[in-house]
Chain A
C-alpha cells in the first residue's frame, strides 16, 4: 500500500474481486425458498375467490373459510422461517418491480370484483384466481432474481 494508505489499481481490483464473491454469497443466501412464492400465489388466489365464496356460502361460513384458509397459509409460511433480520433492504429502483406487481394485482382484483358484481359470471373469480396464482409463483421468483442481481453487484 502507498504511504498515504490509498491502494493502487491492483489492490483495488483485488478488493473488487472480494466484493464480487460476497455479492454472490448474498445473492444465494437472500433468495426466498420457492415455497414462499407458492404461498403468495395461493393467498392471492384465495383473495380473488372472495366474491364467489361469499355468494356460494352463507356469511358466517364465508367468514370462517376465508380467514381460515389465509391463516393456514400464514402458519405454513412461518414454519421454519429464516432469521427475520436477514430480509433484503430494498432501496432506490429495487422498489419499482414490487410496486408494479402490487398495481397489477390491485388492477386484476378490481376488475374481478367489478365484473363479478355486474354480470355474476362465476368463472371470472376462478380465472382471476388462476392468473394471480401464476403471477405469485412465476412473478415472485422473477422479482427475487432481480433483487438477487442487485445484491450480487454491490459496486454497481
Chain B
C-alpha cells in the first residue's frame, strides 16, 4: 500500500467490486459473489486469489445444508486497506484537473 492509502492490490475494478460487495457483510459464498458481480468462476478465482495472497480475504469451508461452499470474508487488514483506498480515491476525484 502506498503512503496516501492508494492500494494497487484493491484498485483494479473487479477487485474493488469484490471488496465493496464483501465489506459490509460477515461473509458471502463464492457462488453468490460470482452471480452478484456477473463474473465467471475463472475470473473470480483469479482476483480472489490475489486478495487472499495479500491477506485481504479469508476463505472458509462452512458446512451448510450438507454442502461445503467456500465462503469469502474480508479480513481486518482488508477492511482497513479498503477504507483507506476509498479515502484516497475520494481525494483523487476531488483534485482539480490540471490545465496545460
Interface residues of A (CB under 8 A from B): 5-9, 11-16, 18-19, 22-23, 25-26, 29-30, 83-89, 150-151, 154-155
Contacts and interface: CB of A to CB of B under 8 A. Distances in A.
A43 B9 CA distance: 46
B92 A9 contact: yes
Given A6-B2, A15-B11, A30 B92 contact: no
A141 B89 CA distance: 32
Interface of B: 2, 4, 6, 8, 11, 13, 16-17, 20-21, 23-29, 32, 36-37, 62, 64, 71, 73, 86, 88-90, 92-95, 97
A18 B20 CA distance: 9
The prevalent SS among residues of B at the interface is mixed
Contacts, number: 89
Nearest to B86: A155
B21 A22 contact: yes
A12 B93 contact: yes
Specify which of B36, B89, B95 lies most central, judged by the most chain A CB atoms within 10 Å of its CB.
Answer: B89
A145 to B, nearest CB: 15
B21 A7 contact: no
A89 B24 contact: yes
